[in-house]
Structure 1
């Protein structure tokens, strides 16, 4: 337990950083697109130039977490390599190349009294990003925030603390050579739970909170925050293989959706298969998954077809594994698949594999998810793939932002009126 004095010191420290971000946000809002892009280029260059220091710091995190027996998928999300750092820097430059969404007139109309009204895009202000052991999120959040003239307060997990420190040092080193204030990027280094509690209650400084991580983290932030929250990322994603699916395509997509990178939220966790194609297609598909290290947990009908698999429990249908485990269920038709997704899905990403356009249209219309695919892998749900340069998260809610959140998700708007002396009579 914290002593009262220690808790007060931590609260003041968090408040100081949040207020510094608020001051920087006001300054950042005055910067031109050219100034912001120049700052992003310097940030990207600084990341690459600081590669050695970042990798050393990351190695400390990976070593410490590995000693705890953490899952391989968790270690994968935490680990940085020279190639990953270069990819992260490339992501910064991809965002830099996108149009600036700030200051854009979205609509314009004239009132009957002659006043010209514009709806103009503006920054949100200060974004608090609370996330788990994903060092790339540190860069994605800072990059997208700065491009949209927002300051960002980062609070990563203890598992990635050394990595995040080194990354933020590099990013701020780049900013110091630019016209953008380095204080626009703040890292809360305290890993005490109280630091999150203080941060998400600072309505005078923080405009939006984005939690990114597991279900427990997201739920805790949603329940405790007095600042608006965008929920992200818990991904119990499904692939449904319909009676009219092309078999080779179905196998290719299912393997990709599950195994290409199983530790991320857009990896498929459950496979639903139409009963009429299951006898011929499913045993071969499951064999292909098993050859790639996937543990299969099947319903009773699946276990009859493929006896050497584990029986699925009720809990399996609602689990986001984030590793090489897949639940498999045979369903009677597309409507049963839709109902299963409605009961167990997390409104993240769902996919149907079929050559029947009417069935596909039914699935795409009725499935309630941020992203729904026809004949494509769930792994495509990604800000970079969508052309956003990077993403700050994948929203599973419906208000303000939904799906991969790029630049537009980090903007608001204001109305600007141009008059010539008009008043209300």
Structure 2
């Protein structure tokens, strides 16, 4: 496979050094002045070409990781699967990658080491040329290289044409590329939603068939990918793309089963509302937590399992606890959920029935609960989707605006307030009955 190289001079593209971070420029120039090739690559070039502000500025070079470390005292080498150099400038990190070579099954003795199993890359530190590196990248729009030597953009796979057409196209044979790294299917969904690009037919048609390969990806890596997919400000659109290509089922099989069931419309609306809420907070630079998101994603299966256990005469509180335990245990077989998120996630779900039973001082105690606000927001979304009474959500909204408000005569379970039993006063002194003889 040969690249169709197109060099776009500075006068014909819109990327300016003034748009690149000072730290990235420092890395680029030091590598160049030391006699190495140095390019800004990937998302930085793509986003600047689209008039967007990049999140990261990554660098590619022919310098080996150890040579990069020799140039920068503030450098740390990381990774075993992919050896990388991280150059630290306070909290800012510039990632520097050495050009990777194309895989040659017959001649795998490159400058480095590589390991593959059933077509999947387990380790890849075989170094090559900039052209080989470009063809190793996943999508054409990510194979654009900004050359600090002459400020040109080098396009190795017609990526600029795809940028202008709003098209997401994989480099190379899709089946082979997805087998190398199944996470590329998730990246296709993420870029499609983030950029508003259409996935090209040849890139998308094999995804549903190849989606089960995600079962081979470590659970911790899938957690990281889900954070990128659903907490990047376009989670609602990403959710739709994931379901369209059969990818969501691989990440949340129990939730997909609930979505396909008789209450699927309610659950679909519920998850969309939760993701829209997260998107809004991300885009307003407000804090968001994966605990809330995972609570929403697992709630449909938790709710249905709890109802099934109640039908078997299990107490509602015990049924909910049991359902959460079963669903979370099954989910952890697919996606890791760190304890710092799984504990508050459970609390948000366990507070839902308590919000529906507010008598006397219970309401005030719940208002002071550390997870109340998250549980209340969760209740609002449930009510909007038809999974909880709107009157219940309205009452809790009013309770926060008017402290000390008396609960209504009936709670959301339909149970009336119990009558208070009068306590009998004990007799004193001579009023006490004489002991029997």
Normalised by the shorter chain, which TM-score bucket?
under 0.3
Higher relative contact order (CA 8 A, sep 6+): 1
**Higher gyration radius (CA):** 2
* TM-score, normalization by structure 1: 0.27
Structure-2-length-normalised TM-score: 0.27
Say which structure is richer in helix: 2
